[in-house]
């Protein structure tokens, strides 16, 4: 049996400002770094064979902090840094023309119902952006190509990502269906642990410090 942990990054600067972020590469807030440390403490004693992250620094930094705080993953350090495999397919959903806009102000401009559709529907993309279905396609493809083989070999894997990337992976793993996944809340900085049997992740639980 191996283990898979999905970890949404801690609070980002634009999370705090209630802005659509998407592909924009913003950093963590002090609270976000503390959330990452707390998530790392919840992983104390877990030894990961591989760590993956998106290419956005809020996910990378969260993953690095969590590995350091766990106290059991020094073997993943490389030349003063961390051996983390980063890929664009694990990035947050692309919000297109909405990126950088305040969510409340956007609702006033376009109407709350339209913004709710852009944010919470499964297959409707905002202008110039991606739908959650699009993220399921790219993140699920990457999971099958790079992460699933590690789990099949019995390795323990940590994936640092984003709210919508985690939702997408939950669909790809069969944990939630497309109808319900837009309303599944993914807390920042709280690890989600899957026990993996024969390479297949089962149900998950949140780990609290």
Contact assessment for residue 69 and residue 63, using Cβ atoms and an 8 Å cutoff = no
Contact assessment for residue 165 and residue 54, using Cβ atoms and an 8 Å cutoff = yes
Round to whole Å and give the CA distance between 55 and 85.
Answer: 9
Round to whole Å and give the CA distance between 196 and 6.
Answer: 13
Q: What is the DSSP letter of 101?
A: -
| The one catalytic residue among 35, 64, 69, 92 | 92
| The one catalytic residue among 9, 64, 69, 130 | 9
Question: Which tokens in the block code for residue 132?
Answer: 């959650």
Active site residue 75: no
Task: List residues with catalytic annotation.
Answer: 9, 92
């Amino acid at each position: 049996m191996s283990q898979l942990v999905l970890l949404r990054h801690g609070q980002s600067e634009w999370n705090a400002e209630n802005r659509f972020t998407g592909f924009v590469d913003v950093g963590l807030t002090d609270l976000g770094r503390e959330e990452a440390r707390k998530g790392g403490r919840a992983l104390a004693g877990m030894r990961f064979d591989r760590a993956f992250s998106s290419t956005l620094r809020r996910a990378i930094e969260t993953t690095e902090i969590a590995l350091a705080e766990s106290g059991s993953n020094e073997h993943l350090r490389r030349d003063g840094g961390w051996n983390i495999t980063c890929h664009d397919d694990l990035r947050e959903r692309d919000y297109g023309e909405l990126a950088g806009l305040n969510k409340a102000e956007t609702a006033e401009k376009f109407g709350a119902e339209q913004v709710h559709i852009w944010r919470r529907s499964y297959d409707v993309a905002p202008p110039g952006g991606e739908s959650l279905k699009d993220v399921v396609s790219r993140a699920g493809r990457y999971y099958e190509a790079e992460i699933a083989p590690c789990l099949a070999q019995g390795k323990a894997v940590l994936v640092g990502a984003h709210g919508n990337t985690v939702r997408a992976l939950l669909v790809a793993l069969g944990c939630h269906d497309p109808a319900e996944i837009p309303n599944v809340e993914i807390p920042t900085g709280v690890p989600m642990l899957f026990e993996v049997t024969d390479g297949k992740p089962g149900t998950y639980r949140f780990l609290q410090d």
